[in-house]
């Protein structure tokens, strides 16, 4: 089965890039432009991986991590947190809440692909 990935990001261009990129790599990509939409999707669909920005409208990324990790149904879903550089405190908070991985912007797309595969436990070599 194709792994389902949810991308939560409020910047149009970034969202599109991730959507196209991950789509091309053969994942089933879902998108949410804000935290509210994301929470709704999470409650409806069982995702294999969630990639979320920290700064989001309505509901922040940290709260999304918290929601996923505190619900027994979804607590095993890997979460990759995406954020601008420099928020070391936020990185720690994200990990404390149970985030599995952290990527700072700007980032390398190839690296993202590898991290996605690693968190999905798909063999890294294609």
- Note the residues at the interface with other proteins (CB under 8 A): 11-14, 16-17, 19-21, 24, 35-36, 55-60, 62-63, 65-66, 70, 84-87, 89-90, 93, 96-97, 105-111, 113
Nearest distance from C-beta of residue 18 to other proteins, angstroms = 8
Closer Cβ to other proteins, 2 or 106, answer by number: 106
Closer Cβ to other proteins, 5 or 65, answer by number: 65
Beta strands 49-53 and 101-105: pairing type? unpaired
Distance CA 118, CA 121 (A): 5
**How is residue 27 written in tokens?**
């994942």
Q: Which residues contact 67 (CB under 8 A, 6 or more apart)?
A: 39, 42, 74
Residue pair 118/124 in contact by the 8 Å Cβ criterion: yes
Nearest distance from C-beta of residue 70 to other proteins, angstroms = 8
Closer Cβ to other proteins, 2 or 108, answer by number: 108
Nearest distance from C-beta of residue 29 to other proteins, angstroms = 12
Distance CA 108, CA 123 (A): 19
- Among 21, 90, 2, which residue's Cα sits nearest to residue 103? 90
Nearest distance from C-beta of residue 118 to other proteins, angstroms = 15
Closer Cβ to other proteins, 6 or 18, answer by number: 18
């Amino acid at each position: 089965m194709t792994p389902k990935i949810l991308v939560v990001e409020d910047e149009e261009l970034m969202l599109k890039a991730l959507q196209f990129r991950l789509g091309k790599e053969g994942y089933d990509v879902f998108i949410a432009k804000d935290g509210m939409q994301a929470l709704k999707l999470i409650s409806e669909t069982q995702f294999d991986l969630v990639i979320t920005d920290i700064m989001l409208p309505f509901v922040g990324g940290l709260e999304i991590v918290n929601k996923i990790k505190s619900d027994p149904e979804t607590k095993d879903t890997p979460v990759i947190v995406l954020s601008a550089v420099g928020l070391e405190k936020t990185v720690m908070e994200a990990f404390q809440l149970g985030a599995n991985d952290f990527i700072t912007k700007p980032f390398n797309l190839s690296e993202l692909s590898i991290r996605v595969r690693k968190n999905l436990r798909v063999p890294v070599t294609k």
